[in-house]
Chain A
Amino acid sequence: GAVVSQHPSWVICKSGTSVKIECRSLDFQATTMFWYRQFPKQSLMLMATSNEGSKATYEQGVEKDKFLINHASLTLSTLTVTSAHPEDSSFYICSAGNVAGVYNEQFFGPGTRLTVL
């Protein structure tokens, strides 16, 4: 099956610093990648959708200057949390899709736990 990896799996940083999270599709080319945020005991909330080579589309309420997304290749997307603060602490999950059309099946990465001190 399609495999998606995320790196790092967990990260602790100081308030005010920036953190980059990588999402890679290991055995397929992902035309579209999605970034989700999951709070403890809550569901996944879509943050943004990125297509290779174009700007990401952010969901309402997500600060694009805060959460920078780059999808430079068909196998890699990055999420950078800029000037992180404790309220940005969360579980970030990416997914990747490789089928164009009405339904684009998504394959999920294992997630990255971000803790901002």
Chain B
Amino acid sequence: AQSVTQPDIHITVSEGASLELRCNYSYGATPYLFWYVQSPGQGLQLLLKYFSGDTLVQGIKGFEAEFKRSQSSFNLRKPSVHWSDAAEYFCAVGSRLQFGAGTQVVVTP
């Protein structure tokens, strides 16, 4: 059975610092992998997705993620966070979107 794990429930980062959110998955084949962001009062927004090809994926809002098959990981990164990046981030796997538990990102001045 497929599963998604986001080990970090909560991350606090200073504005301008780099951010990395971890995602590990369990899947029988090469999965479809996604990162979504959820801000209060707004729907989930797709940041990026990986289906195949280049393992480093560029997304919107300056985010990128790297698929590492050997580690079953798809970690999300941003070199320099902005206060507006404070939100809940979800990793998801599969065509039917099984979501991880989410990581709450807090950005401090």
Cβ-closest chain B residue relative to A44 = B99
Stretch touching chain B among A11-19, A64-72, A78-86, A103-111:
A103-111
The answer to the question of A54 belonging to the interface, with a C-beta cut-off of 8 Å to chain B, is no
When distances are taken between beta carbons in the complex, the residues of chain A under 8 Å from B32 are 103
Docked-complex contact B43 and A43, CB < 8 angstroms: no
Whole-angstrom CA separation of A44 from B44 in the bound complex = 10
Whole-angstrom CA separation of A34 from B96 in the bound complex = 9
When distances are taken between beta carbons in the complex, the residues of chain A under 8 Å from B70 are none
The answer to the question of A114 belonging to the interface, with a C-beta cut-off of 8 Å to chain B, is no
Docked-complex contact B46 and A105, CB < 8 angstroms: yes
Whole-angstrom CA separation of A67 from B31 in the bound complex = 30
Interface residues of A (CB under 8 A from B): 4, 9, 34, 41-46, 49, 93, 95, 102-111
**How many of chain B's residues touch chain A, expressed as a range?**
20 to 34
User: Given A102-B95, A103-B32, A104-B95, does the pair A43, B41 have CB atoms closer than 8 Å?
Assistant: no
Docked-complex contact A43 and B102, CB < 8 angstroms: yes
Whole-angstrom CA separation of A108 from B42 in the bound complex = 9
CB distance from A9 to the nearest CB of B (A): 8
B84-109: contact bitstring with A at CB < 8 Å (1 yes, 0 no)? 00000010000111111110100000
Docked-complex contact B42 and A43, CB < 8 angstroms: no
User: Given A103-B51, A105-B46, does the pair A46, B41 have CB atoms closer than 8 Å?
Assistant: no
